[in-house]
Each structure stands twice: as structure tokens, then as C-alpha cells.
Amino acid sequence: MPVYEFYCRKCQKAFTAVMHVSEHDADVAECPECRRKDEVEKRLSTFTAVTSRKSASV
């Protein structure tokens, strides 16, 4: 499952959550500090893709 990054405007703290893509799309992230969902916003973050083939040199 992917790890997503969020920010709580009420607590002013960033946090991460491991959740299914469908949960992320449904905006169900809850702040671990204040337990609110309405003050949580999604953050952009980096990711790594793992492939089974080696890249070909050009």
C-alpha cells in the first residue's frame, strides 16, 4: 500500500498515512493529533517506482 503525506491546518503538523488508493481518493485521512478530517489537506510528495526490467542504455 502507498504512503501518503498530509498536513493538518488545525494542529499545524505534517503526518503520513499508509492507505489504499480508494481510501486516499475518498478523503478519509484523519489527523493523528486532533482526530479531525475537515482540517486535513493532501501534500505532494516524491515516490519511487520499482520495475522488473533494467533500463537500457542508449
Show the 3-state SS of the chain: CCEEEEEECCCCEEEEEECCHHHHHCCCCCCCCCCCCCCEEEECCCCCCCCCCCCCCC
Q: Where are the beta strands (DSSP E) in the chain?
A: 3-8, 13-18, 40-43
Q: Do 19 and 3 touch, CB atoms closer than 8 A?
A: no
Write out pLDDT tens, residues 28-41.
789 999 999 999 99
State the pLDDT at residue 53.
Answer: 74
State pLDDT tens for residues 1-55: 788 899 999 999 999 988 888 877 787 789 999 999 999 999 987 777 788 877 6
pTM of the model: 0.69
